[in-house]
Structure 1
Amino acid sequence: MERAVLQITLFGLLLALAATQPNKDNWDIYSFHINSTVTSRYATTVITSRMANRMDESKEIEFHVRIPKNAFISKFRMFIDGQVYDGVVKGKEKARQQYTEAVSRGQSAGLVSSVGRTLEEFKTSVTVAAHKKVTFELTYEELLKRRLGKYELQIHARPMQPVKSFKVDVHIHEKSGINFVEVKGGLALADAISKTYADNEVWVNFYPTEDQQKTCTSCGEQGMNGDLVIVYDVNRDSGLGDIKTSAGYFVHHFAPSSLTRISKNVVFLIDRSGSMHGKKIRQTRLALIHILNDLSEDDHFGLITFDGSISYWKRELVQANQRNLESAKTFSEDIRESGATNINSAVLEGASLLNAHPREDSASILILLTDGDPTTGVTNLEQIQSNVRAAIADKFPLYCLGFGFDVNFEFLETMSLQNNGVARRIYEDSDADLQLKGFYEEVATPLLIDVTMSYNGGTNLTQTEFSQYYNGSEIVVAGQITDNDIGTFTPQVVAISSSKKMTFSNPNGTVESTGTESADHIQRVWAYLTVKQLLEKE
């Protein structure tokens, strides 16, 4: 069989595929299958769409799917008239140059672009002869991240027409055992879903009929366009965690339970510049009041608002007792928007407030909420990032929450990553206050600080030092075992937990190999984390 090459360019810019989009009425999707296999939290998902041109002339047929933002495409193929066309994934810079050239030559080209909170979309199209068929096959992979005590496998289906053979098959295998499994989302039709359990495995099957494809929450006469979300967690202990090894590689999942929470020191930096007017500032005030209600009495906190100038609620961290919380809520309700945006001064003041009031064996957190670029004070982005790194000095994480699509999210993301935190985009819609509160819940209960993961006999390790570990989350480290000698491989975790140093280790002193069956899986997790962290450093 002859193998041809299809140039697929993948990048993050939203571009038009062609001057005129194909008309979906010109083709028939007669089969749409999604098969997802999850092994030890690592998911490989294959979308296979079979389409036919029912017209008496050649037509352009479009393949258009959505995948999770944290996933990467590992394979794309098309099958047309006995030929296999393999996709070639290009880097961002090459993609910019080659995309337009490919389209102008009449070649098929694909693209990836952001479409919302959790998804990116992949599009491509190809011209198919009259009464011929085409099969599209897209494979993507992702490491599921544990948040609030659960993993979520998100599958988005949008054939946008009822399909005669529509199937979603999910197989989850967790050696440590599966604690619970739930199915939710706009496509979750109870009559079309089945779950099967066996030891450490579960199968979820979703086979809606053509009629059912028009009746679910995210369905209509045009078919389905929504999510099927499989939520689960695994059984775990309070010790060293789950370590899998095979063929010279290892993956370590660390999520101890039954630990005493650590009190925290948290400072909120609230942008009150003019661009926050209207719904943004109202939702921010509402979310802040919700968050204040969730503080524990042994927590300490501070509030700073900023536009072109800085305003303190109090110039020191105070205990989250009833009197202080009521005062802080009154302050929050009175936040009004005006003026420019001095992000540099705000973050430096927040860092100074945390540094000036250290508390032994507590976790400090700095949270910035803004919707705009710096417009006054220091406005050079690299200079701001340098100033912030010097002020924080790896003492605590900085979390940046960017409000809306106009925010310079790349700047916030870089600043967060440089300071052991993460950035989240807050979408300006009816539940923005719940998004803010939901983020806070992820960091609301620190259990460990100054976490150091060490692996005697390990090499080429992914990140091994973490400033904090939160309840409901998970730390994942992967690497290679030196000379594939598992007998000398000794993992250990050292951290601080509520006023004492803790050491997590294997009481038997040895780690058993999980065999060769999952060798490729473990190596791919290592590669996934290595590449992801290298990209973050870039």
Structure 2
Amino acid sequence: MTVAALVLAAAAAVAVAAADDAQSYPPPDVYRFHVVSHVRNRYAKTVVTSRVANTANVSREISFDAVLPETAFISGFVIEMDGKAYEAYVKGKEEAREEYQQAVQAGQGAAHVQLSARDSNVVSVSVNVEAQKKVTFNLTYEELLQRELGAYHLRINLNPGQIVNDLLVEVHINETSDITLLEVPSLQQSNDVSEEENSTNPLAHTERPSPTTAVVRWSPSREEQAALRAEGVQGQLLVRYDVDHAANNNQILVTDDGYFVHFYSPPDLPPLEKYIVFVLDVSGSMNGHKIDQLRQAMVSILDELSPSDNFTLIVFSSGSWVWWPDSSIYTFWYDSPYGPENDTDAVVPATPANVARAKEFVSGLGAGGGTAMHAALDIALRVSKAARSRQDMPLVMVLLTDGLPNGAPEEILQDYTAANVERGAALFTLAFGEDADFTFLRRLALRNGGFGRRIYEAADAHLQLRNFYRQVASPLLSSVNFTYGDGQVEKETLTRTRFPTLFRGSELVVSGRLQPAAPLLEPVVVGEGRQRYRSPARLEKASSGERLWAFLTVRQLLDMDAASPNQTLKDRAKEVALKVSVLQRACI
């Protein structure tokens, strides 16, 4: 048996299918498919087990495909055949593929794990299974659940490819704080976002053994699977839960192995007044359905602005236009004689009248021309400078584009990042459709205190855009800094301790290792808002924290490398990952 593990992780789906021509042989029988997830203090360990039989009278290749959550680590992969278990190990991809081909030619059982070149989110395992034999795939991955819009989200995508006799998803949640929310929405059977986000899954059964624990089981019969989809279940099962942040909003778990994990999510702060700049691509490639979705999304987003907010609308194609409510025409070419007298006039208070005018403007947007992104971002920074000199409030920029920028992406990265040092804007980038350069957009966001997101070109794109906006719509604190006492923590082990913004419904997490025999005295968390904000911490004991620390450390090192490629960061991420036997994108 040869298994080469060169793996990357990023979204969530599991599929098993035969690699042979379906007309040549009977299909393999996926007769057992289980997904069991244990969540302890937001950290989830999920095991996917699929038992498949080769029903043909000849040996054949069977594939197991998995797409994992974006930040997940693979911590184990075991294949069982002929009563033996074979554990994946790391090898160079060319050497591994050659060994695999030799085993197949010899008629031996073999497996090869590789990364899909087209879609880096997919891990594909090819297994040569002898006639009338069975194979069991066991994939284990781990992730720290993200808190979004007031809840933690565990997403499990399912696609066994057929009706399964024994299909089970089981989730065990164990928290140190009381669980205040537990929801299992209806199975999402497409990539589209549903308007019925709070619908209840009729096939899900929940138990609450105690205030701090919960169990979710979803095990549809063959008939129930067929009712969902004749070809077998295909979709995403979501478990959404939250804990009591009011009673425990500044929680530190001190573990037996010397690590600590600090969760911070104050629930009682009023949102800050904010200034948000929308930089929207209306180039020719946005024509048709995309521009329709953008218009629809922006009308919804403008409706959600607070009257205390300020905003600026910039649209760009071959040139850049800034919307100005007092102009007799709704847009002007920047620096034209029809524009405002100074940059501050482009900073618009979100009054009901201005919002109504802005909605009329975006409803009339058309598409055409090139993608002059560099100039549009320069204008965004120029206008934001005027706003910053006028008011002290969190500055958020949202860039949406569906294509490649005119000019060199590296030049945009360097120029915008350098100019933004003074502004301190948190930049969030949205890559709309398959043609957008997501790697570049993600780097741009990571260098500037934000994150990148993909917006899929589908009927629900306007809902994807709206839901993204809701995540960043309500900043509670800016310039948040975690400080731990001298001599208490091994400083080189600390994960990120400075954060540009804390948004409502989210959570900040810091981890590190304590100095030997050093107690962790109460740390200080300070953020800028209407006044400097401090919050006392609550210390509790937990069993183990090294894997969660490793997860945060590796993820942050790789994000830093994605923003500014650096081999030293890659080497350090690989070192930490191998220390705790996990594999992650770009580590190996």
Q: TM-score, normalised by structure 1?
A: 0.89
Query: What is the DSSP-based 3-state SS (H/G/I as helix, E as strand, rest coil) of the residue aligned with 1:345?
Result: helix
User: Match for residue 492 of structure 1?
Assistant: 524
Name 1:468's counterpart in structure 2.
Answer: 501
Per-residue CA distance 1:216-243 (angstroms, 9 max, x = gap) = 2xx22x2212221111111113775121
Mark the runs of 5 or more structure 2 residues left unpaired by the alignment. Answer: 11-15, 105-109, 189-199, 325-342, 562-588
Letter of the aligned partner of 1:101 in structure 2? E
Paired with 1:400 and 1:412, the residues of 2 have a C-alpha distance of 6
Q: CA deviation at 1:207?
A: 2.0
Among 274, 279, 283, which residue is 2:284 paired with?
274
Match of 1:343 among 359, 368, 373: 373
Larger mean CA deviation between 323-332 and 104-113 belongs to 104-113
Question: Equivalents in 2 of 1:263, 1:200: separation in Å?
Answer: 35
Q: Is the 8 A contact 1:401 1:423 kept in 2?
A: yes
Spell out, residue by residue over 1:116-148, the C-alpha distance to the aligned partner (whole angstroms, 9 max, x if none): 9xx943321222222322111000111110110
**1:484–1:141: structure 2 CA closer, same or farther, 3 Å change rule?**
farther
Q: CA deviation at 1:102?
A: 4.8
Partner of 1:256: 266
Is the Cα contact below 8 Å between 2:9 and 2:69 reproduced in 1? no
State how far apart, in whole Å, the 2-side matches of 1:461 and 1:159 are: 41
Q: Which residue of 2 aligns with 1:166?
A: 167
Change (3 A) 1:351 1:248: same
Provide closer, same or farther for how the CA distance between residues 482 and 71 of structure 1 changes in structure 2, counting only shifts above 3 A. Answer: same
The equivalent of 1:418 in structure 2 is 447
**Deviations 1:388-420, CA, capped at 9 Å, x for gaps:** 111111612011111101111100000000000
Q: Distance in 2 between matches of 1:476 and 1:114?
A: 33
Secondary structure in 1 aligned to 2:376? helix
Q: 1:110 aligns with which of 98, 106, 113?
A: 113
Q: Deviations over 1:178-202 (max 9, x none)?
A: 0111112427752463434323100
> For 2:21 and 2:261, how far apart are their aligned partners in 1?
45
- The Cα shift of 1:81 comes to 0.9
1:331 pairs, out of 361, 370, 373, with 361
Aligned to 2:54: 53
Within 1, Cα distance between the matches of 2:454 and 2:5? 28
Displacement of 1:338: 1.8
1:372 alignment partner AA: G
Structure 2 Cα separation of the partners of residues 45 and 56 of structure 1: 34
Give the direction of change, closer, same or farther, for the CA distance of 1:223–1:25 in structure 2 (3 Å limit).
Answer: farther
The equivalent residue for 2:77 is: 76
1:332-354 alpha-carbon deviations (Å, 9 max, x no partner): 22322222111111112111211
Distance of 1:436 and 1:473 partners within structure 2: 18
Is the contact made by 2:43 and 2:142 (CA closer than 8 Å) also made in structure 1? yes
1:237 aligns to 2:262 (yes or no): no
**Closer, same or farther: CA 252–11 of 1 in aligned 2, 3 Å:** closer
Check the 8 A contact 1:8/1:108 in 2, yes or no.
no
Higher deviation after alignment, 303-312 or 34-43: 303-312
Pair 1:56–1:338, CA change in 2 (3 A): closer
Q: 1:4-43 to 2 correspondence within 5 Å? A: 5-11=2-8, 21=20, 23=22, 25-43=26-44
Quote the sequence identity (%).
37
Which residue identity is paired with 1:373?
L
Cα deviation, residue 55, structure 1: 3.1
How has the CA–CA distance of structure 1 residues 369 and 99 changed in structure 2, closer, same or farther, with 3 Å as cutoff?
farther
1:367 aligns with 2:398: yes
Name the stretch that deviates more: 59-68 or 296-305. 59-68
Take 2:146 and 2:118, find their aligned partners in 1: how far apart are those partners?
20
The farther-off stretch of 58-67 and 254-263 is 58-67
Paired position in structure 2 for 1:427 = 456
* Equivalent in the alignment of 2:219: 207
The answer on whether the counterparts of 2:9 and 2:123 sit within 8 Å (CA) in structure 1 is no
State the AA in 2 paired with 1:343: M
Secondary structure in 2 matching 1:138: strand
- Structure 1 residue 227 and structure 2 residue 257: aligned? no
- 1:45 Cα offset (Å): 0.4
8 Å Cα contact 1:5/1:86 also seen in 2: no
Alignment of 1:305-316 (within 5 A): 305-314=315-324, 315=343, 316=346
Task: Compare 70-79 and 58-67 and name the one that shifted more.
Answer: 58-67
The aligned runs of 1:371-410 (5 Å cut-off) are 371-375=402-406, 379-393=407-421, 395-410=424-439
Q: Does structure 1 retain, via aligned residues, the 8 Å contact 2:71–2:555?
A: no
CA contact under 8 A between 2:17 and 2:63: conserved in structure 1?
no
Name the amino acid aligned to 1:205: R
Contact 2:186 2:201 in 1 (8 A): no
Secondary structure in 2 matching 1:6: coil
CA distance 1:189–1:160, change in 2 (3 Å): farther
The CA distance in 1 between the partners of 2:426 and 2:559, in whole Å, is 15
Contact 2:274–2:396 (8 Å) recurs in 1: yes
CA distance in 1, matches of 2:68, 2:118: 10
Q: Which is richer in strand?
A: 1
Please, which moves more after superposition, 34-43 or 457-466?
457-466
2:552 equivalent in structure 1: 529
Check the 8 A contact 2:471/2:503 in 1, yes or no: yes
CA distance in 1, matches of 2:2, 2:480: 47
Distance of 1:189 and 1:323 partners within structure 2: 41
Structure 2 counterpart SS, 1:536: helix
- Residues 279, 399 of structure 2: 8 Å contact kept: yes
Question: What is aligned with 1:513?
Answer: 541
Q: For residues 249 and 197 of structure 1, what CA distance do their matches in structure 2 show?
A: 28
State the 1:12 CA deviation: 7.6
* 1:355 equivalent among 385, 399, 410: 385
C-alpha distance in structure 2 between counterparts of 1:251 and 1:344, whole Å = 40
- Which residues of structure 1 form unaligned runs of 5+? none
Matched with 1:284 is: 294
CA contact (8 A) 2:8 2:123 kept: no
Q: CA deviation at 1:210?
A: 1.8
1:503 aligns with 2:525: no
SS state at 1:339 partner? coil
- In the alignment, which of 477, 481, 498 is matched to residue 514 of structure 2? 481
Q: Is the 8 A contact 1:240 1:493 kept in 2?
A: no
Q: For 1:447-493, what per-residue CA distance to the aligned partner results, in whole angstroms no more than 9, with x for missing partners?
A: 111100112222211111111111111111111112252x2443220
Normalised TM-score (structure 2): 0.82
- What's the CA shift string for 1:150-176, capped at 9, x where partnerless? 111111222222222222211000111
Separation in 1, partners of 2:554, 2:143: 12
- The alignment of Structure 1 onto Structure 2 pairs a total of residues equal to 510
Tell me, in whole angstroms, the C-alpha distance in 2 between the residues paired with 1:345 and 1:491: 44
Please say if residues 61 and 129 of structure 2, whose CA atoms lie closer than 8 Å, have aligned partners that are also in contact.
yes
